[in-house]
Chain A
Amino acid sequence: GQQLNQSPQSMFIQEGEDVSMNCTSSSIFNTWLWYKQEPGEGPVLLIALYKAGELTSNGRLTAQFGITRKDSFLNISASIPSDVGIYFCAGLANAGGTSYGKLTFGQGTILTVHP
């Protein structure tokens, strides 16, 4: 089946630093999503990307949908302690009726921010 390779697996950074993580795939996705999961909770949607080349921001977060449709990245600027959590990329292969919204997830990036 389809697989997403997410990197890095973990990051330890100082408050105020910028963060970058990415996902790559061997196959094409028509939608890329970025979720954040905090301890004891389910994933929460951060950013959704629907078109190749699209660059979207949500506060200090910026994500891009790669031109090849096989990759996406997420940047967090000026990190703060509450950015701590696990970040997941997810891809939707077919935006049409046959996909039924099934997502493929990356393995996650564990982010730790030191004050």
Chain B
Amino acid sequence: NAGVTQTPKFQVLKTGQSMTLQCAQDMNHNSMYWYRQDPGMGLRLIYYSASEGTTDKGEVPNGYNVSRLNKREFSLRLESAAPSQTSVYFCASRTGHGGSQPQHFGDGTRLSIL
């Protein structure tokens, strides 16, 4: 009963280092999402993938890239980490291309950039 699994759970980087956050879902969902959560700002969408083979920018995409590796996996990459990217990152998935089905979230990756 894993749902959405994110790795790693914690990471500390130095400014300028690169890092890939991994996300996998076992619910056969079509759509996947990456959010960042900062105090007092709720969750903000970084990138999403409506279906396997497609990715699109969300509200705050600058400094990030994504890869929808297959239907199960959606990774988020920081090419040159900056202190402003210190945040908690959440991956989510949902079943359909359209409709109103809610998203299901992983437990997050806590990332600190020094």
Chain A positions near chain B (C-beta within 8 angstroms): 1, 4, 6, 9, 30-31, 33, 35, 40-45, 48, 50, 88, 92, 95-103, 105-108
Bound-state CA distance A9–B41 (Å) is 11
Residues from chain A with Cβ under 8 Å of B103 in the complex? 45, 101, 103
A to B CB contacts below 8 Å, 25 in the list: A4-B42, A30-B100, A40-B108, A41-B107, A41-B108, A42-B4, A42-B90, A42-B106, A42-B107, A43-B90, A43-B105, A44-B105, A50-B100, A88-B43, A97-B97, A100-B56, A101-B99, A101-B101, A101-B103, A102-B33, A103-B45, A105-B42, A107-B40, A107-B41, A108-B40
How many positions in chain B have a CB within 8 Å of any CB in the partner chain? Answer: 30
Residues in A with CB closer than 8 Å to B56 are 100
**Number of A-B residue pairs at CB separation under 8 A:** 72
Residues of A contacting B59 in the complex (Cβ-Cβ under 8 angstroms)? 1
